């Protein structure tokens, strides 16, 4: 074994280990050699690059990990041979720093690349501490090179990620800032993190970092009816605390200038890809003007309803007055045919008057349930014309049939004429009789059939060619509603069917 002699009883072998050269060395010196040997054994087996240098900076020992990484031998690295492992572009800066630290005795710290055995440079954080004797003199240096490539890559990725997130956040704020709707975003705990410009205009203020318990106070919120808004029922609170989706909720906002906004909005929880809650978003719009217009329209419609009811009521009263006058005139007329004509006119006017009565009592002004109206009309007509109670009326239907007023009046007059004819002519000298009326809908048509079991009419009778006033009225009114009237074959009595096209709803 070759030794490098020192000025005392301790020397170093070629590996840099201290050995005794004087058999008369003290116990302290012996212990120092033992401790140095133990330290080297420990340093040789750690995964970090370690080395030791003399006071002048020349390195005399490297651990095994250094040589494994660099692919070097102790002879290649002895003294200042370590420079061969450095990037030539960086080496001058390293030498300058290292030389300055040797001169000043200050610790050395610097990150620089070292070439590996495969020729690839990797960054290492290098820290070097001076070793001093009891009098404070530097007797050597101990250095550690820590591979920080993974850390630097992670930091670079983190910087890239942060830049991407900042870009996304800036893009989000730019997009949300341009929206006409107000947008408020919270974190998973409900703390407000973003308020766009539209939301600021709606509230008159911007409040960031507000937590759920302070929503009502910070933004001066109340219920739609002006009461302080409970925290738990606020849409944003429900979205954050209970993961609810709230649609078209309404509340009021009192601005700092004392103006009030009726707001309408939606709140939704926001989830990450792993289904964890990452926040909530509230969208708001000003519903004040639309709500005011809706209320004004509602009031206008209410007034219109009242006016239409009044109009129908007055029309009905006016027609009833006409009926009364005609009835009075008929009672004073000696001629039977004139009297009957006046009474027939009363009946027809009465149909129209009853229709207007139906309109104002049911609250509908342009639509009529034809089935219900015809049932009432025919029942009243039979009762009025059958003083002896010999006619039995059967009315069948298949439910509600709603038609426009413009169609309902002509149809009712047609049925009135046909039923009046049956009552006047079908049961002369009869002890009893039956009239059947059926209202049905079929393939886009309304069919109204009216039959009696009376004396009947001639086989060649055509309702569309009859010269009688009543049947001429029937034919004209049927044509007015784009319908047709047909006579049905009947073993006894008379049967007609009126067919009217039913407009699509």
Dihedral sign, CA of 326, 330, 331, 333? positive
Phi/psi of residue 394, nearest 5 degrees: -120, 125
b/e per residue 113-129 (b: at least 16 CB within 10 A): bbbeeeeeeebbebebe
Q: How far apart are CA 327 and CA 339, in angstroms?
A: 9
pLDDT for residue 337 is more than 80: no
pLDDT for residue 17 is more than 70: no
Give the pLDDT band (50/70/90) at residue 5: very low
Q: Virtual CA dihedral for 313, 316, 322, 327, nearest 10 degrees? A: -120
The share of the chain scoring above pLDDT 70, in percent, equals: 79
Which residues, 6 or more positions from 472, have their beta carbon under 8 angstroms from its beta carbon? 466
Choose the weakest-confidence range: 67-71, 229-233, 242-246, 342-346.
342-346
Tell me the mean pLDDT in the region 154-175.
82
pTM (predicted TM-score):
0.42
Q: How far apart are CA 123 and CA 263, in angstroms?
A: 59
Give the pLDDT band (50/70/90) at residue 377: confident
Q: How far apart are CA 258 and CA 315, in angstroms?
A: 51
Strand order across the beta sheet in which 391-397 lies? 391-397, 433-442, 445-452, 494-501, 484-488
More confident residue, 353 or 152: 152
Tell me the mean pLDDT in the region 357-362.
57
Single out the residue of 322, 439, 435, 453 nearest to residue 379, CA to CA: 435
More confident residue, 67 or 316: 67
Tell me the mean pLDDT in the region 203-211.
90
Helix (H, G, I), strand (E, B) or coil at 286: strand
Taking CA atoms, 456 is separated from 460, 493, 494, 498, in Å, by 12, 4, 5, 18
Residue 467's beta-bridge partner residues? none
User: Which tokens belong to 377?
Assistant: 């009309």
Phi/psi of residue 260, nearest 5 degrees: -125, 140
Q: Quick one: how far is CA 27 from the chain centroid?
A: 84
More confident residue, 288 or 331: 288
pLDDT for residue 193 is more than 70: yes
Top mean pLDDT of 122-131, 162-171, 359-368 is at: 122-131
Residue 446's beta-bridge partner residues? 441, 500
Give the pLDDT band (50/70/90) at residue 23: very low
* Fold of the 179-286 domain: Beta-Lactamase (3.30.450)
Q: What angle do CA 405, 409, 413 make, to 5 degrees?
A: 165
Q: Cβ distance 73 to 67 under 8 Å?
A: yes
Q: Quick one: how far is CA 120 from the chain centroid?
A: 55
User: Which tokens belong to 319?
Assistant: 């027609």
**Res 86: pLDDT:** 94
Q: How far apart are CA 64 and CA 54, in angstroms?
A: 19
Single out the residue of 141, 146, 140 nearest to residue 126, CA to CA: 146
Single out the residue of 488, 477, 400, 377 nearest to residue 446, CA to CA: 400
Give the pLDDT band (50/70/90) at residue 172: confident
Give the pLDDT band (50/70/90) at residue 268: very high
Taking CA atoms, 259 is separated from 201, 254, 256, 262, 287, in Å, by 12, 6, 7, 10, 14
Give the pLDDT band (50/70/90) at residue 362: low
Q: How far apart are CA 370 and CA 366, in angstroms?
A: 12
Compute the mean pLDDT over every residue in the chain, rounded to the nearest whole number.
82
User: Which tokens belong to 147?
Assistant: 């591979």
Choose the weakest-confidence range: 137-141, 202-206, 308-312.
308-312
Q: Which CATH number fits domain 292-501: 3.30.565.10, 3.30.1230.10, 3.30.1300.10, 3.40.50.2300?
A: 3.30.565.10
pLDDT for residue 43 is more than 70: no
More confident residue, 307 or 4: 307
Q: Cβ distance 408 to 416 under 8 Å?
A: no
Task: State the Rg of the chain over Cα.
Answer: 54
Q: How far apart are CA 128 and CA 146, in angstroms?
A: 11
Strand 433-442, strand 391-397: pairing: parallel
Instruction: Spell out the domain ranges in the chain.
Output: 3-152, 179-286, 292-501
Give the pLDDT band (50/70/90) at residue 368: confident
**Res 176: pLDDT:** 67
**Res 318: pLDDT:** 65
The pLDDT tens digits of the residues spanning 446-498 come to 999 999 998 888 888 888 887 787 888 888 889 998 999 998 888 788 999 99
Query: CB burial class (10 A; 0-12, 13-18, 19+) of residue 374?
Result: buried
Q: How far apart are CA 143 and CA 129, in angstroms?
A: 6
The pLDDT tens digits of the residues spanning 386-396 come to 878 888 999 99
The pLDDT tens digits of the residues spanning 82-141 come to 999 999 999 999 999 999 999 999 999 999 999 999 999 999 999 999 999 989 999 999
Domains 3-152 and 292-501 share a fold: no
Homologous superfamily assigned to 3-152: PAS domain (3.30.450.20)
pLDDT for residue 182 is more than 80: yes
More confident residue, 333 or 497: 497
Which residues, 6 or more positions from 330, have their beta carbon under 8 angstroms from its beta carbon? 338, 339, 342, 343, 346
Tell me the mean pLDDT in the region 37-43.
63
pLDDT for residue 3 is more than 50: no
Q: Virtual CA dihedral for 165, 171, 174, 178, nearest 10 degrees? A: -130
């Amino acid at each position: 074994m070759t030794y490098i002699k020192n000025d005392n009883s301790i020397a170093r072998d070629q590996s840099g280990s201290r050995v005794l050269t004087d058999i008369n060395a003290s116990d302290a010196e012996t212990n120092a050699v033992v401790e140095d040997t133990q330290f080297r054994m420990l340093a040789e087996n750690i995964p970090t690059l370690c080395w030791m240098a003399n006071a002048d900076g020349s390195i005399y020992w490297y651990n095994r990990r250094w040589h494994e990484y660099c692919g070097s031998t102790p002879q290649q690295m002895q003294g200042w041979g370590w420079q061969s492992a450095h990037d030539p572009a960086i080496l001058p800066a390293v030498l300058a720093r290292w030389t300055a630290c040797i001169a000043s005795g200050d610790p050395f710290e610097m990150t620089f690349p070292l070439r590996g055995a495969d020729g690839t440079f990797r960054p290492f954080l290098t820290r070097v501490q001076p070793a001093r004797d009891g009098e404070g003199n530097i007797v050597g240096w101990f250095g550690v090179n820590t591979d920080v490539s993974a850390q630097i890559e992670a930091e670079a990725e983190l910087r890239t990620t942060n830049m991407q997130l900042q870009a996304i956040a800036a893009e989000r704020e730019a997009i949300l800032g341009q929206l006409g709707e107000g947008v408020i975003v919270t974190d998973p705990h409900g703390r407000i993190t973003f308020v766009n410009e539209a939301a600021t205009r709606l509230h008159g203020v911007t409040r960031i970092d507000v937590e759920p318990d302070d929503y009502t106070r910070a933004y001066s919120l109340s219920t739609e009816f002006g009461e302080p808004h409970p925290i738990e029922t606020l849409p944003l609170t429900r979205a954050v605390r209970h993961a609810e989706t709230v649609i078209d909720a309404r509340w009021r906002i009192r601005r700092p200038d004392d103006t009030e906004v009726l707001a309408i909005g939606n709140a939704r929880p926001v989830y990450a890809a792993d289904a964890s809650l990452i926040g909530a978003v509230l969208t708001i719009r000003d519903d004040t003007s639309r709500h005011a217009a809706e209320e004004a329209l509602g009031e206008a419609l209410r007034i219109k309803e009242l006016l239409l009811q009044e109009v129908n009521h007055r029309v009905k009263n006016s027609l009833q007055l006409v009926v009364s006058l005609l009835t009075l005139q008929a009672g004073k007329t000696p001629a039977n045919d004139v009297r009957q004509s006046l009474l027939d006119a009363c009946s027809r006017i009465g149909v129209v008057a009853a229709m207007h009565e139906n309109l104002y009592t049911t609250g509908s002004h342009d639509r009529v349930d034809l089935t219900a109206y015809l049932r009432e009309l025919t029942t009243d007509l039979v009762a009025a014309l059958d003083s002896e109670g010999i006619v039995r009326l059967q009315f069948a239907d298949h439910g509600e049939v709603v038609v426009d007023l413009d169609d309902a009046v002509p149809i009712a007059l047609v049925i009135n004429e046909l039923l009046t004819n049956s009552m006047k002519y079908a049961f002369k000298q009869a002890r009893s009789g039956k009239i059947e009326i059926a209202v049905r809908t079929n393939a886009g048509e309304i069919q109204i059939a009216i039959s009696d079991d009376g004396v009947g009419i001639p086989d060649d009778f055509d309702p569309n060619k009859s010269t009688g006033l009543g049947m001429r009225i029937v034919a004209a009114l049927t044509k007015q509603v784009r319908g047709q009237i047909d006579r049905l074959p009947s073993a006894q009595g008379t049967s007609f069917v009126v067919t009217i096209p039913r407009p699509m709803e």
